């Protein structure tokens, strides 16, 4: 790919993932069995290896449902849930038959994050991981 700032063909690197997921609590006193979700969009830029100019971007939509039997006991006053994202990192993998030159393999870029949901009463905590990837050719050019 040609970099518009360097005006030459350059290598590409993954940038840092951008965006924070949010906790969405659909439970009410009338419907305590409604779901609790972690939702959000995470953007992953692909940058020029020479100058750092963004060349492509991919957007990953996270929608993770929290499933824990103890979650039903933690709703209402004094039981506010909070989300903390512990670690967000970019991932890369290639797909292809063994012995195939790297030029002919498919490259996938993605994101991986670790999160913790805790209750205000300090008697409930659940941790989890989420990851997603997409083929490099599916990224949008900027």
User: What is the phi/psi pair of residue 103, to 5°?
Assistant: -60, -30
pLDDT score of 32: 62
pLDDT score of 113: 95
pLDDT digit string (tens) for 6-47?
Answer: 898 999 999 999 999 999 887 776 666 668 899 999 999 999
pLDDT digit string (tens) for 68-124?
Answer: 777 777 777 888 889 999 889 999 999 988 888 888 899 999 999 999 999 888 888
- 64: pLDDT strictly greater than 70: yes
């Amino acid at each position: 790919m040609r970099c518009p700032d360097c005006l030459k063909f350059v290598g590409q690197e993954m940038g840092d993932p951008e965006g924070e997921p949010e906790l969405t609590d659909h439970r009410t006193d009338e419907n305590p069995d409604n779901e609790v979700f972690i939702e959000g969009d995470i953007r992953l830029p692909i940058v020029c290896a020479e100058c750092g100019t963004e060349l492509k971007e991919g957007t990953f939509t996270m929608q993770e449902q929290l499933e824990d039997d103890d979650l039903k006991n933690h709703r209402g006053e004094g039981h506010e849930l909070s989300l903390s994202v512990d670690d967000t990192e970019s991932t890369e993998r290639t797909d292809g038959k063994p012995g195939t030159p790297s030029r002919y393999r498919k490259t996938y870029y993605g994101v991986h994050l670790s999160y913790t949901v805790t209750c205000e009463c300090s008697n409930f905590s659940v941790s989890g991981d989420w990851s997603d990837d997409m083929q490099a050719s599916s990224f949008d050019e900027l």
